[in-house]
Amino acid sequence: MTGSSSREGDALMAKEKPEFELNRLRTELRKTRQDEIFGDLSPAELSEYNRKAERIHELLGEVHMSAIAERSSGAAQIEQ
C-alpha cells in the first residue's frame, strides 16, 4: 500500500464503527497471511501488516471498554 492509499485508509477508518473496522482489518490480515504462504512479504507489506495488527489491538480495547460501559449503564438503570 502506498503512502497516499494508507492515508485514505486512515480516513476510512475514522468513519467506521470500531466493530466494522475490526472485522475489515481482520479480513485484510487473513488475506495477507494467505498471500505470504506463496511468497515473502516486502518490507512495506510487513510494515502495513504490523500497523493493522496494532490497530486491531487498539480496537479490541475500545470495543471491550465500550461493552463494559454499556453493561454498567444498563445495571445502573435497572437499579433505579
pLDDT score of 6:
52
pLDDT of residue 1 exceeding 60, the answer is: no
Torsion angle (degrees, nearest 10) of CA 39, 20, 14, 29: -10
Instruction: Kindly list the domain boundaries of the chain, sorted by start residue.
Output: 3-79
pLDDT of residue 78 exceeding 90, the answer is: no
Percent of the chain with pLDDT over 70: 74
Q: What is the pLDDT of residues 12-38, one digit of tens each?
A: 555 788 999 999 999 999 999 998 888
pTM over 0.95: no
Let me know if 23 is exposed, middle or buried by CB neighbors in 10 A (0-12, 13-18, 19+).
Answer: middle
